Structure 1
Amino acid sequence: METEAGKMWGSLPPVHFFSHGSPMMLCETTESSDYWRKCGDEALAHNVKGIVIMSAHWTALGDQIQVATNPAPRILPVGFVPSHDYKHYPLTPDLPTAQRCLDLLSAEGFTVSANPHYNWIVDVYIIITRMFPLGNPPPTTVVSMNARYDPHYHLKVGSTLRQLRKENYLLIGTGGAVHNLYRNRWMPMIKYRDSLAMETPPEEWALEFRQSLEDVMTRTSGPQLRRAVTRLMKHPKFRDAHASDDHFMAAVFVAGAAGDVDDEGCHGVMGAETWELTNMANLQVTFGEWSNQGAA
Structure 2
Amino acid sequence: MGLPPVHFFSHGSPMMLCETTESSAYWRRCGDEALAHNVKGIVIMSAHWAALGDRIEVATNPAPRIRPVGFVPSHDYKHYPLTPDLSTAHRCLDLLSAEGFNVSANPHYNWIVDVYIIITRMFPDGNAPPTTVISMNARYDPHYHLKVGSTLRQLRQENYLLIGTGGAVHNLYRNRWKPMIKYLDSLAMETPPEEWALEFRQSLEDVMTKTSGPQLRRAVTRLMKHPQFRDAHATDDHFMAAVFVAGVVGDVDDEGCQGVMGAETWELTNMANSQFTFGEWPKLPVAGYPG
Q: TM-score, structure 2 length as denominator?
A: 0.96
2: CA distance, partners of 1:176 / 1:120:
18
2: CA distance, partners of 1:186 / 1:47:
40
Correspondences of 1:186-265 after superposition (within 5 Å): 186-265=177-256
1: CA distance, partners of 2:182 / 2:37:
43
- Shift of the alpha carbon at 1:82? 0.1
- Shift of the alpha carbon at 1:125? 0.1
Report the count of equivalent residues: 281
Deviation per residue, 1:210-239 (Å, 9 max, x gap): 000000000000000000000000000000
Deviation per residue, 1:82-101 (Å, 9 max, x gap): 00000000000000000000
RMSD: 0.7
Q: Does 1:184 align with 2:171?
A: no
- Shift of the alpha carbon at 1:139? 0.1
2: CA distance, partners of 1:146 / 1:165:
22
2: CA distance, partners of 1:100 / 1:12:
19
- Shift of the alpha carbon at 1:170? 0.2
Q: What SS does the aligned partner of 1:129 have?
A: helix
Q: What SS does the aligned partner of 2:264 have?
A: strand
2: CA distance, partners of 1:187 / 1:129:
27
1: CA distance, partners of 2:184 / 2:149:
35
- 4+ residue segments displaced more than 3 Å: none
- Shift of the alpha carbon at 1:285? 0.2
Deviation per residue, 1:124-168 (Å, 9 max, x gap): 000000000000000000000000000000000000000000000
- Shift of the alpha carbon at 1:68? 0.0
- Shift of the alpha carbon at 1:256? 0.3
* Residue number in structure 2 paired with 1:3: none
2: CA distance, partners of 1:259 / 1:171:
13
- Shift of the alpha carbon at 1:103? 0.2
2:80 to 89, 113, 127: 89
2: CA distance, partners of 1:260 / 1:97:
23
- Shift of the alpha carbon at 1:75? 0.2
Q: What SS does the aligned partner of 2:46 have?
A: strand
2: CA distance, partners of 1:159 / 1:15:
12
2: CA distance, partners of 1:159 / 1:289:
19
- Shift of the alpha carbon at 1:59? 0.2
1:273 to 264, 269, 276: 264
- Shift of the alpha carbon at 1:242? 0.1
Correspondences of 1:64-79 after superposition (within 5 Å): 64-79=55-70
2: CA distance, partners of 1:13 / 1:223:
19
* Residue number in structure 2 paired with 1:160: 151
* Residue number in structure 1 paired with 2:38: 47
* Residue number in structure 2 paired with 1:4: none
2: CA distance, partners of 1:138 / 1:259:
25
- Shift of the alpha carbon at 1:21? 0.1
- Shift of the alpha carbon at 1:45? 0.2
1: CA distance, partners of 2:141 / 2:96:
16
| Long gaps (5+) in structure 1 | 1-10, 291-295
- Shift of the alpha carbon at 1:106? 0.2
- Shift of the alpha carbon at 1:15? 0.4
- Shift of the alpha carbon at 1:201? 0.1
- Shift of the alpha carbon at 1:200? 0.1
- Shift of the alpha carbon at 1:104? 0.2
- Shift of the alpha carbon at 1:48? 0.1
2: CA distance, partners of 1:197 / 1:276:
7
Q: What SS does the aligned partner of 1:283 have?
A: strand
- Shift of the alpha carbon at 1:66? 0.1
Deviation per residue, 1:166-208 (Å, 9 max, x gap): 0000000000000000000000000000000000000000000
- Shift of the alpha carbon at 1:114? 0.1
2: CA distance, partners of 1:58 / 1:78:
15
1: CA distance, partners of 2:252 / 2:123:
32
- Shift of the alpha carbon at 1:71? 0.0
- Shift of the alpha carbon at 1:111? 0.2
| Long gaps (5+) in structure 2 | 282-290
2: CA distance, partners of 1:64 / 1:270:
32
2: CA distance, partners of 1:237 / 1:99:
39
1: CA distance, partners of 2:156 / 2:242:
17
